[in-house]
Structure 1
């Protein structure tokens, strides 16, 4: 039986795409675990026809994923610069107080610290939170709940700015989390949330961003309802290129939606995302991505060509598992994060090595799994041209560069 909508409680959920069953995408395996069984969970995206929140069932808990986490934001030069520009653009006074929820390794708050502004990170993963503290970023190891928000407010005072980047999709209790944001922010303060936009996910076949850590997928319309459930009003929205297309939601306890909110809502409606028509052919387009990538890998193998991967992101594991790609088709992948070196991708058991291995082996093709960092990685991998190698991008459609 399908769980009811976690936002409005409706039982009217309709399937959008079924990606089979996969392990949690960040549970990378050690060599000692290769002969042990792996638990897999269904990965079926549905949309609620009452509030239009797209969602997957809460089959794993945040505690299972985020107590110790494999993702460190600062290994991406792009994300650090994105955060620096965000902080630099804010008119923060000397007496301001900034809180970031899911602050990771301090990739953003380090820029606030550099300005001498009081701040606090709230990060549930002990290992990445320690990395933030090592940078001088005050960090509380905790999940955000209404109680956590109230306790932080009691101890530190209300926040002038609360930042929640790339976390609003990661929490199954969306109402409780939003109430936590409200508890943190001052009555005249602002909340800034960045999250992938369902509009671009659907339009550009970005189905690999569907994984068990992401419990819901937002349009501006559904985000507006989610914010209201916790006592916040959506007052503005920005369209960002991050993650292939994201929205930066600006909310406060009181206010009126801007003209930009109205414009993006109109775009979503025109795309059919406020009704079922906008989701109708997504499954067929996802199947085409899978067929094209598998055809390329099988043909390359038959021709004696070597294909390796670049990156071991969560989204890559959705793609690898859905396509059934194993080391016979993708010899290994590399990643800048030393935490992942010597481990193996969940489900598909592909070895993860250091990036230097690519220059040593000089493969014919490099399959870029974090395609959302295309510009950054195209520059980083420019040396592949030296031996005639080519880059392969699987999303939104197969492209060999």
Structure 2
């Protein structure tokens, strides 16, 4: 039985059980292929009191994020998304060269570099030593630490309160929701703003995006459950934006409760959509596991048929979500010869659990495979353009989510 980490209730219900998998970013070296590889249950449950969807906290974030394999700047579209956010936030909040912006989990400076370019004082709080160093080398001031209430207060004491605190794609990555939220409140000025981007559980359920369930994500939010989580730390959500990123995300705008004011019409509308989808009660979760099974069967049937027909299939990308999909489907190098990735950190390594080689992107043009399975499907537009050359030899792209789709590219 799981105890809800937000409200403490023991009333939880199963959403989907994906078996046991290794942590999704623990790529293996060649030497590690001969060693045991630990796996952990990957079972998503939902609390029927506060409706927070969550995994059991089986991993210590320090084991994953101290030396991290993910560098945000390798995605061109993600850097552009960060610039658009920066431009909009500066205009919305009236930020100037006298303002102070803090980003939590700032990664390699993909977002704050746009703040630096505007001459606005800023600081990244990033736990991963290697990506934090990359940010400093790019000219982004970065403090290496996990956010807690104490860390937030230390940063505030040294640098002053922040007019804007940004926490993009990190609110799902922390098991101590209460302590992290109090850390956000410690960072932000008493009249300041907090902006949080996180995947929306509504689109995850509606579009079968089960591969975004992995051990680094300890919880999955609706606006309602996020509202409750932030309220526990003294922050009130006053506005929400629906974003296409990661297949469907929400951008929450929150303020200290004392100055928050009334919620926007957009927030009211999204809460109504969630309620209509049944996500504020158990009915919205009951059929998800069956739809997950359908995705698995469709992908395996395709890969097996391609192999029997003598066709070659390789992967594009080695994201965390891809490793959930590969492990759940039991895909090995006999069905997916290798996958490529732009991040040189992963080259020469092997995907966790499935042990598929990760190589340089130019291997695709050299080998001319029949099919390229796109694992970071959330970057579909960007990668369809990048991989248009595959059509030159009649190759096709395969997208597994939300349903299997085979796409011709580069054909006029």
Q: Would the TM-score normalized by the shorter structure come out above 0.5?
A: yes
Size of the aligned set, in residue pairs, is: 400
Match of 2:21 in 1: 22
C-alpha separation between the residues in 1 aligned to 2:302 and 2:78? 31
C-alpha separation between the residues in 2 aligned to 1:116 and 1:32? 46
Match of 1:311 in 2: 317
Match of 2:361 in 1: 355
C-alpha separation between the residues in 1 aligned to 2:104 and 2:135? 13
Extract unaligned runs of 5+ from structure 2: 408-412
C-alpha separation between the residues in 1 aligned to 2:374 and 2:270? 30
C-alpha separation between the residues in 2 aligned to 1:94 and 1:304? 61
Deviations 1:217-249, CA, capped at 9 Å, x for gaps: 000000000000100000100000000000000
Match of 1:189 in 2: 192
C-alpha separation between the residues in 2 aligned to 1:177 and 1:34? 36
Aligned 1:253-264 pairs, distance under 5 A: 253-254=256-257, 255=260, 256-264=262-270
C-alpha separation between the residues in 2 aligned to 1:328 and 1:192? 44
Match of 2:42 in 1: 43
C-alpha separation between the residues in 2 aligned to 1:201 and 1:18? 15
SS, match of residue 237 in structure 2: strand
Match of 2:169 in 1: 166
TM-score where L is the length of structure 2: 0.97
C-alpha separation between the residues in 1 aligned to 2:221 and 2:238? 16
SS, match of residue 327 in structure 2: helix
Match of 2:402 in 1: 396
Match of 1:242 in 2: 245
Extract unaligned runs of 5+ from structure 1: none
SS, match of residue 162 in structure 1: strand
Aligned 1:199-278 pairs, distance under 5 A: 199-254=202-257, 255=260, 256-278=262-284
Match of 1:97 in 2: 100
Please provide the CA RMSD for this pair: 0.5
| Cα gap change, 1:3 to 1:280, in 2 (>3 Å) | closer
Deviations 1:170-209, CA, capped at 9 Å, x for gaps: 0000010000000000011000000000000000000000
* Structure 1 residue 258 displacement after superposition: 1.1
TM-score where L is the length of structure 1: 0.99
Match of 2:331 in 1: 325
**1:175 aligns with one of 174, 178, 183:** 178
Aligned 1:285-304 pairs, distance under 5 A: 285-304=291-310
* Structure 1 residue 45 displacement after superposition: 0.3
SS, match of residue 328 in structure 2: helix
Deviations 1:14-73, CA, capped at 9 Å, x for gaps: 000000000000000000100000000000000000000000000001001001000000
Deviations 1:122-143, CA, capped at 9 Å, x for gaps: 0000000000000010000000
Aligned 1:49-128 pairs, distance under 5 A: 49-89=48-88, 90-91=90-91, 92-128=95-131
SS, match of residue 14 in structure 1: strand
Deviations 1:310-365, CA, capped at 9 Å, x for gaps: 00000000000000000000000000000000000000000000000000000000
Match of 1:11 in 2: 10
SS, match of residue 147 in structure 2: coil
